[in-house]
Structures are given as structure tokens and as C-alpha cells.
Amino acid sequence: MVLFWEKFRSRVWVNLNWSYISLLSVLLLLGGLLVALYLPLPPPQMPIASEVYDQNYKLVTTFFLENRSPVSLDEVPRFLIKAILAVEDHRFYQHHGINPGRIVKALLYDIIHRRFEQGASTITQQLAKNAYLDQKRTFLRKLKELFYTVKLELQLPKNKILELYLNQIYFGHGAYGLKIAAQTYFGKELRQLTPTEMALLAGLPKGPAFYSPYFHPQAGRQRIVEVLQRMKACNYISNVQFEDYRSRPLHLPGIINKVAPAPYFLDLLQDEVGRIFPKEPGLIYKAGFIIESTLDMEMQKNAEHSMMEGLPKLLRDKQGLLQPQGALVAIDPQTGAIRALVGGIDAARSQFNRAIQAHRQPGSAFKPILYASALSHGYTLANHMDCSPVTYQIGRQTYRPTDDNDQERSGLLSLRQALASSNNVVAVKLLYQIGTAQVLSLAKKLGIISPLPPGLSLALGSGEVTPLELAGSYLPFANGGKNLAPTTIWRILDREGRVLYQAPTEHPTVIDPGVAYLVTQALSSVLQKGGTAANIEGIINRPVAGKTGTTEENHDAWFVGYTPDLLTCVYVGCDHNERPLPGAANRIAAPIWADFMTKALINKPALDFTIPNDIIQMDICSETGAKATSFCPKQSEYFLAGTEPTEYCQKHRIISIQVCKRSGLLPGPYCRELEVRQFKLGEQPTEICNVCQKHPYFFDWLRRIFKSRSE
């Protein structure tokens, strides 16, 4: 009995000891947590500037966050505060930093969709995340976020938290905080903003690039409506106010900033960084990246100079911008590296990047894609097509393609001749034969992502594309069929030298190398006698290919041309089609291209386009496209193996015929001297000799007698 009691008392004592230890541990943990929560907040993490270098590793510019001018909450219009609360956290003043309802809703969304995308962060949580934490998505970071959220709520009043948040968030175009955002987008102070402008600012933080009215006007306008709808749902505005504000126009004068070197190139580079890191907008301004770009500053300067000097007489439009404007994109066709990019000639006044944002009809500059599709489906450059006028019945309408100045031609043209002279009738007939589906499919493979019309006018470049898109679609022609995405970035490294991103070096083949070479061969004729750009023949003293493009009434002018080591696209036109250009592409865009290429390729060796193994070169009859005979007008032509002509030209075939030696006609019954002569088919005699008579020698004797007497 005594032994049992001792065991029982020992066991109870041990259990009590563990209970005390556990309780003490919990108390210490809670005490430590309380102490940590009430310790002063550390200063927010300072963002690190990202540096951009050109291809020679010279610093081009830096992207940073110091372009921030803090404002107090009293300086922010009440309407703007309500708009931000409506879309970001309408229960901000009711919760204590964490909104359980939003967390549950987001969790259910993530479970249903099986991915972690739905945000549940309050304004306090967003401030804690942006000010004190990195961007890694881990469970530990989430715990830290909750810790700092509670700490902020305990130590700061709600108005101070909101003020810090409004000065912290990113609005796009390098603007951090409300004050700089108002200046960047509207050139105004906060107190000068209209309700519509404030609604736009409130909606930007969720997607600064996507909702930017400069990049995506329609998405920006839709975002304004969404913000106003949220404000109406929160009873911040009435129905009448909602209808009033949503219908007001949005004026975007922007703000004149100091323009960095190659501003339009850097604009595209920022977009590319955003695509590489899509879940962290504005990362380039705070992550301390070392960005090794593809920019060649010398080429960039030459591009800007050629564009400025080559544009027609400049006039200012109603917005004060010089018109016409233009764009130039220069790319290494072997790597896709963008060496120079000009998006306009007045970057200080206009953020509109025509190289990537101007959707314009390319006109005949689209035809190489059509011809590439035809060559991929068995056509050859020697095939002849009738260029006589044709009319197509499409439903209840008719379509009749015409050439420049409505001049009508007739006869046959080889596909090489038709492309070189940019014949519209042949292009439409060719599209009709191979089908629009084939051409649309190839255009997409070549990198044309803009929607294109499915009708016959597609052959004449009626779809709208950007200069960068069109330049990218020509790259496979210049590099032997490889599919390259134009890029501004080689590598992105962190401050420790770790590679965060590397541009792809392996590229799939999108068209047969032989087809690419044939297109290049045909485009080389554009710059030769009879071609639409023959006026610049000889300026580029090296193998070169290219294509002009002019839209109706000379509103837009294009030239895309390339050597094996550099491809350049030039576009010229007025932003709003205010006036036509004073000439076609060969007089407007082609000279700009030639001037730039001459400077860009100076002191560089002339390279030949590589001839693929499946290409055959042979002499053909220039009139028929058949295998040449010794009597044919010859020209050298290239073919994919298996598509070359095997039959000799019938038009110039040689036949042997016995004829009268005296008359050269077919022998008659009195012809005594005969011989065999050779004739081209169709040129042989068809009449019978009527010179030789029954007694030819008697009459000759009489003729000689009379002749001698008369003398």
C-alpha cells in the first residue's frame, strides 16, 4: 500500500511539473510576442535601383524608386481616398488589419480553382508586405506579414497607415505615390484632379501596365467604370454621380520629363521585365537588377538621326506634336537582339511608342508572308500569273484589286517580277488560289499576333500591325527560317551576380530554310531595276533584300529590309492620318532605311545569304519560266529541289526544216536548190516558194542579155 502511494505521488508530481513547464513556456512565448509587437517598428526596406547596360556594358540608365514625393492624408482629396478604399479595402476602418471574410473568400476561390491566385490582403497587409518583406511566396513570409500587420495596427493610427500606403504603392510609368502619379498621368497636383481622373488613379495599382491609358486606353477606361461601380456599391457616390463621372472624357497630356537615352527602347525593356516577372509589377524599380540589354548606343544615335533627318517637312498638330511621326526597329536576325528602336521623334512630349503601339496597315510590306506561304505550297518564283484585271464576287459585293494610280496591266508576270514590282492583282489572285487560312496561319507562326482580316484584301496588307511585329515576321526570311522573338534583354542578374534570366539561345524552325532563301532572293529584286525600291540600288553595297509598303492615299509608308546581320523596319505616317505623305514608300521610308543601314554597317564585312542544301539554281526562259534552250532569253533562278522545271521551253524550241535556198520558203515544184535550216518554233516559214519558175535558167539568160544592152 505504501509503495502504491509513493508511485502515485511521484506520477502526479511529474505531471504537475510538465504542466507548469508548458504553461511557463506559453507565457514566455506570449510575453516575447507582446514585447516584439510593441517594440518600435524598424525603418522600411529601402528599394535598390536597377541598372541597364548596353551591349558594350556601358551604363544606359537606372530605374529607381526615389521619384517619390510624400503627401499627408490631409492633402489627398476625400473622393480619391474613398475611391481607393472602395477597390482595395472598403472595410479598412472596421477591421484590425486582417479581414477574415476576405481570407475565407480567397481561400475558397483558390481551393475551387486549385491555384493560389486570389488575393485577400488588406491595406495594412499590403503596406507590411511592401515595406518590410521580400517578394518570396513562402509560408514563413506569410507569417511575417501577419506579424507586421498586427504590429502596424497596434502602433499606428488608421490614418497614418493609410497615408504610408498611399505614398508607397506603384501606379506605373515610374510613378510611386499619389502625388507623382497625378503629375505623371495628368500633369496636375492632387487637388486639381477630376473625379474621373481620381477613379483611374485608384484603379491603377492592381495592374499599372495593363490599365495604363497610355498603353491600353480601352482597359484604362473600363477600369474607371469598375472603380466607380465599387464606389456606388459602397454608397460613396450616387447613381447620378456614377453616370456623370463615367461619361466624362479623360485628357492625358502627360508630363514633360527629362528623357533618358533611347527612351522608347527602355520603354519596351520595362515591358519585357514585366513579362519575365509577371506577378511582381514594378520590380525593376526596387529589385536592384543588373540588366544586360541588347542596345547598341551608336546604332541608336544613328537611328534617331536618320529618322529625324529623313522625315518629310514637319508640322505641329493640335497637341503640339511634330507630324508626320515615325518608327524604326533594328534587329540582329541571327539572335533577335534589338539593336536600336525609335518610337517617335518627340519623346519629351509624347510617350506614345509607335514601334510597339502604333497599329497601322503595312500595305505591300505584308506580301512576303503571302509569297512565303505560296512557295511553301509548291509554287516557284518562275511561275507566271496573268496580271490582267479581275473582279471577285463576294456575297452581294464585288472586289476588284487595282495597282498604283489605278493603272491596269495585262500579260504574264513571274512571281519574282510580281513581288519586285509589287503587283496587287497577282497578289490577290495568288491569295485566292492558296486560301486565306494558309496565309493567316503562317503570319501567326511568324509572330503576327494582331488580328488580321480573312478577306482577299489581306494580300494587300489591310490588317493592322505594329512595326515591331512586322520586323519580327521578316526575321525567319533573313536567318534561314528560325523563329525568333525580338528581345531587348540578354541577361538579368542580381547584385550577387546570380543569373535570374537568360534569353533563349535555341530557336525552332518556323519555315523551310529553302523557302526563306527564295523569299530573300525575290526581295533582292525589289532593290534592282524594275523593283519598287530601285531608287536606293547601290547605296547599300552588299547583298540585301527588302520590301516597300504604301497604304491608300499615301497615309502610311513602310520599308523592311535586311542583310544577313541586320534587319531594319522603318514606318512613317501621321498619328491621326491628318494628311497624306508627299510620296510613296520608296521616296519616304526607303531613303531613311538606306541612310541608317549605311551608317550601321560601315566598316563591317559584307556577308552573303547562306544557300540551303535543298536549293537548286538553273537557267530558265524569262518569258515562260521553263527550262531554257539556247535560243531563250535566259535568267538564273532558284528553286526548292523537286520544284525546278524539267521540260524545255516550247516557245523557243528549235526545229529543222528543208527550204528553198533562193527564197528561204517551203520548196515548190520548181525549186532546184534546197537546204535544211533551223528555226524557233513559230518562226518557221509556212508559205511555198513562188520565186522559182518552170525554166528559171532561161529567164535568167534573158535578164542578163537585157541588162548588158541597157548598159
Kindly list the catalytic residues: 88, 364
Beta bridge partners of 560: 547, 569
Q: 684 CB contacts (<8 Å, ≥6 apart)?
A: 655, 657
Does residue 212 contact residue 204 with C-beta atoms inside 8 Å?
yes
Question: For the chain, how big is the Rg over CA atoms in Å?
Answer: 38
Q: CA 364 → CA 192, 328, 387, 623, 684, distances in Å?
A: 48, 18, 16, 25, 44
Does residue 550 contact residue 557 with C-beta atoms inside 8 Å?
yes
Hey, which bits of 483-579 come out as E strands? 489-493, 499-502, 545-550, 556-563, 566-573
Task: Specify the 3-state DSSP secondary structure of 158.
Answer: helix
Task: Specify the 3-state DSSP secondary structure of 698.
Answer: helix
Question: Residue 469's CB: how many other CB atoms inside 10 A?
Answer: 22
Cell of 491: 541577361
Please give the helix or strand (H or E) that residue 162 lies within, else none. Answer: helix 158-168
Q: 153 CB contacts (<8 Å, ≥6 apart)?
A: 96, 97, 124, 161
Hey, which bits of 64-181 come out as E strands? 170-172, 175-176
Q: Which of 569, 487, 567, 497 is nearest to 295 (CA)?
A: 487
Q: CA 219, CA 221: separation in Å to the nearest integer? A: 5
Query: How many Cα atoms within 13 Å fall on the side-chain side of residue 546?
Result: 34
Sign of the dihedral through C-alpha 692, 695, 698, 699: negative
DSSP tag of 615:
E
Q: 332 CB contacts (<8 Å, ≥6 apart)?
A: 294, 339, 565, 566, 567
Does residue 365 contact residue 547 with C-beta atoms inside 8 Å?
yes
